[in-house]
Amino acid sequence: SQAAFRTDLSSLLDQVGTGKESLSFMKRRMRRLAPQWGTAAQRLHAKLRQRWREQKKILVHVGFLTEESGDVFSPKVLKGGPLGEMVQWADILTALHVLGHNLKISMSVKELQGFLGVPPGRGSCPLTGPLPFDLIYTDYHGMQQMKQHMGLSLKRHKLVCHIRVIDTFGTEPAYNHEEYATLHGYRSNWGYWNLNTRQYMTMFPHTPDNSFMGFVSEELNDTEKRSIMLNKVNSMAVVYGKEASMWKQGKEGFLQTLHRYMEVHGTVYYETQRPPEVPAFVKNHGLLPQHELQTLLRRAKLFIGFGFPYEGPAPLEAIANGCIYLQPKFRPPHSSLNHEFFRGKPTSREVSSQHPYAEQYIGRPHVMTVDYNNSQEFDSAIREIMRTKVEPYLPYEYTCEGMLERVHAYIQHQDFCSPEAPFPPANSSTKTQWPSGPGPQFVLLPNSSALGWAPNASAPPSWPPLSSLRLLASQDGQSCVEACQRAHLVCEPALFRFVNNKEALRGLAVQCEVVEAEVNHVFPAFSVLRRECGLQKDPLLYSCAGLSPKYRRLCPCRDSRRGQVALCRDCL
Ligand code: UDP
């Protein structure tokens, strides 16, 4: 049946339940943001103009909040534990509810078994019979529980294609593929689930190999913006870091410098005494309820990060409330190779600052990324911030409407269960042909008829549509994430299958002495020097993130909507 937008959250609030601090935190957030979700629903409804939206049966199993995974977070909510996850789950639940889907929420293994129709207490009773849901949103903990308690063999089970894994930092194809990861040293602490990596959904658009789920932040109307700008205190700074441990190690110097110019505020959790890590000149408010933190940010001019935590929601909230976010540049970048925090995480991503999204997608004047070891640079950044006027700013993709639009598009179009139409089509009489270009560094625009693509093939059409594809060759040692970005495009893993062929190589005028198909996460790619070309043998390994100094990659890039990097222009 047709899904109808909901603007009333009361039934969702009832569903979430009570009794734990984590649940109260999420419900407070839902209530506080309810009006802005309501407005967003009306706007998206108007924008989609009666388009048919199928109502889906959706199970949300929040693995990290279950007793079985130790529920390490609930007790920490009051102490400044990772609230970012809680923020995101609250927003996911709200988005699914507002979009009008049929929602079930599980926060224990028992509930999970109940919803999936698995008899409880039977150990690893295998899941049989049809799945009563179209979609299951969970996390890595939830995956582990489904495997352990339901004997879900993730390699072959039909259920797997319905799962979406909420995964803050993302999982790249080389780490997700069990056999490949084991053979080639892409070890991770998170297991190898052999999913299509677009089934992992991240907090920020890290690598397009994953889907970008995101969360929302405060939205202000023009009156509010004006009043915030009038009431800004140019000499007021708030420090990013709600746990005392985040203030340790060499932060004194920066804080001293900062204090020379500004009044420094903190929201560091404490029990009875002031945490010794926090200098006496800092006005510490203790961990604040979210709405009080927003009030503090509305008055402050500067929100300052000291390098940890990485990539949380708080900087976006600060920028949305008219602060300038100042953060350290990481040189060399932090990654799983050189930093404890990322070690064992299933990604090779190089993190160039505390919050790369703020750095790359927002930038000046809202964000300043500087070398903190250069005291002159640090000093002049603070002085510049004090005299710069900025308006509150929130990227569209972090508004309620933006999140609803994106989640709507994923739900209606992403399909990891149906077999993909073969490409080039087996029965096509026309030979696939790319227009021949002037050389490998140029973008080519194929059209679907030249590709011999039969739009009326029985398999579902490609999403994003083939019309959004722009083929591009990367430089040696460059990933497709970067190559597409340089051309103001986005790598689109769903379109790899269209460029994984000899015709694409020919279209780029690549000279190949041999063309081999291999299981290698940098393929399709070619080496100019050795005149070698490689195609991808295992679709699970199509990777935007993959790179090798020996190869230039064939990259399927696409356009994107303004302020909504997850969606191409014709993707709605
Ligand atoms: N937060 C809060 N009170 C505070 C400090 C932070 O409610 O005193 C909230 C903040 O609004 C944000 C969330 O905690 O939405 C997560 O903050 P952070 O960016 O530090 O991310 P995390 O490290 O928890 O992922």
Indicate whether 254 pLDDT > 50. Answer: yes
Q: How many residues does the chain have?
A: 572
Q: Please tell me the predicted confidence (pLDDT) of residue 126.
A: 66
> Tell me, what's the pLDDT at 69?
78
Q: How far apart are CA 519 and CA 522, in angstroms?
A: 9
- The 10s digit of each residue's pLDDT in 128-145 is 667 889 999 999 999 999
CB 473 within 8 A of CB 553: yes
pLDDT at 1 over 60: yes
Query: For 79-93, 322-336, 479-493, which range has the lowest pLDDT when averaged over its residues?
Result: 79-93
pLDDT of 81: 73
Q: Specify the pLDDT at position 453.
A: 44
Q: 11-25, 156-170, 205-219, 556-570: lowest mean pLDDT where? A: 156-170
Q: What's the gap in Å between 294 CA and the centre of ligand 1? A: 11
- pLDDT number for residue 35: 98
- pLDDT of 152 reads 66
Q: Which residue minimizes the CA distance to atom 14 of ligand 1? A: 83
Per-residue pLDDT of 6-43, as tens digits, reads 999 999 999 999 988 899 999 999 999 999 999 999 99
pLDDT of residue 88: 98
ipTM of this predicted structure: 0.96
Q: What is the pLDDT of residue 558?
A: 96
Q: What is the pLDDT of residue 459?
A: 62
Q: What is the mean pLDDT of residues 499-510?
A: 91
Ligand 1: centre distance to CA 359 (Å) = 19
Over the stretch 391-436, which tens digit does the pLDDT of each residue have? 999 999 999 999 999 999 999 999 999 887 767 655 555 455 565 5
The answer to whether the CB of 519 falls within 8 A of the CB of 180 is: yes
Mutation test residue for ligand 1: of 242, 247, 355, the one with most atoms within 8 Å of CB: 242
The answer to whether 329 touches 307, Cβ cutoff 8 Å, is no
Distance between CA 560 and CA 569 in Å, rounded?
5
Highest mean pLDDT pick, 11-15, 151-155, 453-457, 459-463: 11-15
Reported as a pLDDT band with limits 50, 70 and 90, residue 450 is very low
Pocket test residue of 292, 293, 316 for ligand 1, highest count of atoms within 8 A of CB = 293
Q: What is the pLDDT of residue 151?
A: 72
CA distances from 243 to 28, 67, 76, 519 (A): 21, 24, 11, 44
Q: What is the pLDDT of residue 331?
A: 95
Distance 83 CA to ligand 1 centre (A): 5
pLDDT digits (tens, 9 = 90+) for 80-112: 777 999 999 999 999 999 999 999 999 999 999
Residue 456: pLDDT band with limits 50, 70, 90: very low
Residue 487 or 442, more confident? 487
pLDDT-derived band at 454 (thresholds 50, 70, 90) equals very low
pLDDT > 50? residue 231: yes
Strand partners, 368: 326
Would you state the pLDDT for residue 461? 79
Ligand 1: atom nearest CA of 290 is 7
Query: DSSP assignment, residue 325?
Result: E
Which residue type occupies 258?
L
Distance of alpha carbon 327 from alpha carbon 358, whole angstroms: 9
Q: If you average pLDDT over each of 102-116, 244-258, 385-399, which comes out highest?
A: 385-399
pLDDT reported for residue 78: 74
Instruction: Compute, in angstroms, the gap from residue 376 CA to the centroid of ligand 1.
Output: 30
- The dihedral built from the CA positions of residue 32, 34, 36 and 37, taken in this order, carries a sign that is positive
pLDDT at 437 over 60: no
Q: What is the pLDDT of residue 150?
A: 78
**Residue 394 Cβ contacting ligand 1 at under 6 Å:** no
- Tokens standing for residue 370: 């500087």
Residue 210, helix vs strand vs coil: coil
6-10, 202-206, 509-513: least confidently modelled range: 509-513
Q: Quickly count: other Cβ atoms within 10 Å of residue 291's Cβ.
A: 11
- In a mutational test of the pocket of ligand 1, which residue from 267, 290, 297, 304 has the highest number of ligand atoms less than 8 Å from its CB? 290
Confidence of residue 449 (pLDDT cuts 50, 70, 90): very low
Q: Are 323 and 365 in contact (CB under 8 A)?
A: no
* Widest distance between CA atoms in the chain: 78
Expressed in angstroms and rounded, the spacing between residue 302 Cα and the centre of ligand 1 is 16
Strands annotated E in 426-551 = 469-473, 490-491, 514-518, 525-527, 532-536
Which of 26, 64, 83, 298 best tests ligand 1's pocket when mutated (most atoms within 8 Å of CB)? 83
Q: How far apart are CA 162 and CA 13, in angstroms?
A: 25
pLDDT at 119: 72
Taking the CA of residue 313 as reference, the ligand 1 atom at the shortest distance is: 19
With a cut of 70, say whether residue 514 has pLDDT above it. Answer: yes
Instruction: Give me the long-range contacts of 444-448 (CB less than 8 A, separation at least 24).
Output: 444/470, 444/471, 444/472, 444/507, 444/508, 445/470, 446/471, 446/498, 446/507
Q: Whose CA is nearest to atom 11 of ligand 1?
A: 290
What does the pLDDT look like over 537-571, one tens digit per residue?
Answer: 999 999 999 999 999 999 999 999 999 999 999 99
Q: Which residue in 309, 302, 307 sits closest to 327, CA to CA?
A: 307
Q: Which atom of ligand 1 is nearest to the CA of 285?
A: 8
pLDDT at 270 over 50: yes
Would the CB of 322 count as within 6 Å of ligand 1? no
pTM for the structure as a whole: 0.94
Query: How close is the Cα of 443 to the center of ligand 1, in Å?
Result: 42
pLDDT over 90 at 117, yes or no: no
Task: Round the average pLDDT of the chain to a whole number and report it.
Answer: 90
Q: Is residue 287 in contact with ligand 1, taking CB distance under 6 Å?
A: yes
What share of the chain in percent tops pLDDT 70?
Answer: 89
| 303 Cβ neighbours under 8 A, 6+ residues apart | 237, 238, 240, 297, 314, 315, 318, 319, 323, 324, 325, 326
Q: Which atom of ligand 1 is nearest to the CA of 240?
A: 20
